[in-house]
Amino acid sequence: MLSQSLQQKMQQKLSPLQIQLMKLIEVPAALLEQRIKEEMVNNPVLEVDSEQGGRDNDEDDDEAKDEVPEEREDRDATIEEYLQMEETPAYKLQANNFSADDKPIEVQMTEGMSFYEHLEEQIGLQDLNEHQLEIAHYIIGNIDEDGYLRRSPQEIADDMSFSTNEEIADEEVEQVLKVVQQLDPAGVGASNLKECLLLQLRTRNLEDPINGLAYRIVNDCFDDFTNKRFDRILKRLRITDSEDMKDAIEEILRLNPKPGSAYSGTLVKAAQHIIPDFIVEYENNKLTFHLNRRSEPELRISSRYTDMLEGYVKNKDGQTREQKEAITFVRQKLDAAKWFIDAIKQRRNTLNLVMDAILKYQGDYFIDGDETKLKPMILKDIAKMTELDASTISRVSNSKYVQTPFGIYPLKYFFSEGIQSAEGEDVSSREVKSILAESVANEDKRNPLTDEKLMEILSAKSYNIARRTVAKYREQLGIPVARLRKEL
């Protein structure tokens, strides 16, 4: 039986401004300009304030006032034109959203041969018939970016038999696979690391004592090699000269475990350029910082659209359906533009507030860059100082960078757990990690330090830390266990 009833309940909802703000806070300086341009393309009401131009320094502001913006011949379409356009509007196909101090930069992209194109070119030069060539192409298509063939010849044969409706024997695939495994780079088409290393060693002169020993170590003692059980290898292969074994292991370590990694795709990518979000300076015994706004254009709402809306509202009588749609369109775009501009300003204020708190909290470190002066600092510490939520602090610290007089660091670098020393003083876990890294770097590689020994070293320096905590920090530093650090 259906019935109707009234219910009253409270529900939290985020405003469009709050949603915009949360998204923009996460965006680093390197991507902010792109995000702003995307919004301007989607909202014709937004435009760059040429009087501001996104400048940050006072002297730049003075220069901006002297510059007279060039008058643009291309005008944005009217609302009526915009609504009637079936094709993409012209303003969506071009961008003219650069600040006055932007310099045109031509990015040169070097087109190179991809890993798969390299293999396809080589396989075409092999002595294979049309049927074998078809199998070779299928095998190459199943090789991953690291150069490994993760599928068995039986699985490939079954797939090809099903797709071509033609019986393909496992032996045919295995035969063609051997040809693929002879291609450059050496090691391609292997099913696992052991096979990959053996394929590379087979391209060398195995009559050479060192190369021959390296092949025997990988082929006969691979598990002992990966676990660095050198005594077992010496005994099993009856090696009398440990220097020969050391040279053979060095040869193995020179091999490429990922033969496909030399090829980065169809385009050779340039090294990533980090743009700092904050710039910290120390002058005249005073710490200061400013937000990097070099690529952030100052936005405003186009007066053309506000005037147009006022004109429509004044002439309410006799409005056509198209004019009413135009009013609704302009109002929506104006609201969205106001929310976006306010979100940009609030983002700026939030980032400044958080960085100011971090600078005050870690002031001693920013003076000379001494890592031992970093205090334990977690998200809640900065949240308490700024009266912001910890999730907001997390968004601010994500993907942001700080330029200091002694280098550029991710903002997350300044956050770390706290550990209490024997004297009851709180110290940063980064200081403990630094001691761990230094101890491992200076250890005897023939008898590396175990986690228990590292715990004793820290205890002698007044850091009372459990062995499992030592293991956790060691793993965070990317340091393997003592057994895997052992060398001859």
How far is Cα 27 from Cα 398, in angstroms, rounded to an integer?
8
Q: What is the mean pLDDT of the chain?
A: 78
How far is Cα 392 from Cα 81, in angstroms, rounded to an integer?
42
- Among 58-62, 119-123, 164-168, 364-368, where is mean pLDDT lowest? 58-62
Establish if 197 belongs to a structural domain.
Answer: no
pLDDT score recorded for residue 220:
92
Contact (Cβ atoms closer than 8 angstroms) between residue 101 and residue 60: yes
Alpha-carbon distances, residue 83 vs 73, 90, 322, 329 (angstroms): 22, 13, 8, 9
Average pLDDT over residues 393-422: 83
For 250, the token pair is 């060095």
How far is Cα 404 from Cα 289, in angstroms, rounded to an integer?
9
- Among 143-152, 200-209, 223-232, 256-265, where is mean pLDDT lowest? 256-265
Closest CA to 96 of 76, 78, 77: 76
How far is Cα 400 from Cα 231, in angstroms, rounded to an integer?
48
Query: 274-303 pLDDT, tens per residue?
Result: 889 999 998 888 999 999 887 778 888 888
Residue 231 pLDDT > 80: yes
pLDDT score recorded for residue 377:
86
How far is Cα 147 from Cα 256, in angstroms, rounded to an integer?
10
pLDDT score recorded for residue 105:
41
Closest CA to 180 of 134, 218, 223: 134
Average pLDDT over residues 447-455: 89
pLDDT score recorded for residue 56:
46
Establish if 101 belongs to a structural domain.
Answer: no
Domain that holds residue 42: 14-67+274-411
Closest CA to 174 of 159, 187, 189: 189
pLDDT score recorded for residue 402:
93
Query: 95-147 pLDDT, tens per residue?
Result: 444 444 444 444 444 445 678 888 988 998 888 898 899 899 989 988 988 89
How far is Cα 72 from Cα 105, in angstroms, rounded to an integer?
22
Establish if 335 belongs to a structural domain.
Answer: yes
- In sign, the C-alpha dihedral spanning 50, 52, 57, 61 is positive
Average pLDDT over residues 345-363: 93
Establish if 184 belongs to a structural domain.
Answer: no
Establish if 362 belongs to a structural domain.
Answer: yes
How far is Cα 319 from Cα 57, in angstroms, rounded to an integer?
48
289 beta partners: 280
pLDDT score recorded for residue 113:
67
- Among 23-27, 147-151, 283-287, where is mean pLDDT lowest? 23-27
Establish if 477 belongs to a structural domain.
Answer: no
Distance spanning both ends of the chain, measured CA to CA: 83
3-state DSSP assignment of residue 332: helix
Residue 444 pLDDT > 60: yes
Query: How does residue 188 score in pLDDT terms, banded at 50, 70 and 90?
Result: very high
Residue 165 pLDDT > 90: no
Query: 37-50 pLDDT, tens per residue?
Result: 888 888 888 888 77
Report residue 342 CA to chain centroid gap: 28
Contact (Cβ atoms closer than 8 angstroms) between residue 401 and residue 351: no
Closest CA to 337 of 28, 8, 36, 33: 36
* pTM for the structure as a whole: 0.50
pLDDT score recorded for residue 201:
93
3-state DSSP assignment of residue 407: strand
- Among 242-251, 420-429, 460-469, where is mean pLDDT lowest? 420-429
- In sign, the C-alpha dihedral spanning 196, 200, 202, 207 is negative
Alpha-carbon distances, residue 144 vs 102, 165, 194, 228, 246 (angstroms): 41, 26, 17, 28, 32
Average pLDDT over residues 82-90: 41
Establish if 360 belongs to a structural domain.
Answer: yes
- In sign, the C-alpha dihedral spanning 352, 354, 356, 359 is negative
Residue 353 pLDDT > 90: yes
Contact (Cβ atoms closer than 8 angstroms) between residue 72 and residue 95: no
How far is Cα 105 from Cα 189, in angstroms, rounded to an integer?
41
Which amino acid appears at position 443 of this protein? E
Residue 356 pLDDT > 90: yes
How far is Cα 236 from Cα 228, in angstroms, rounded to an integer?
14
3-state DSSP assignment of residue 359: helix
Count structural domains, the chain: 1
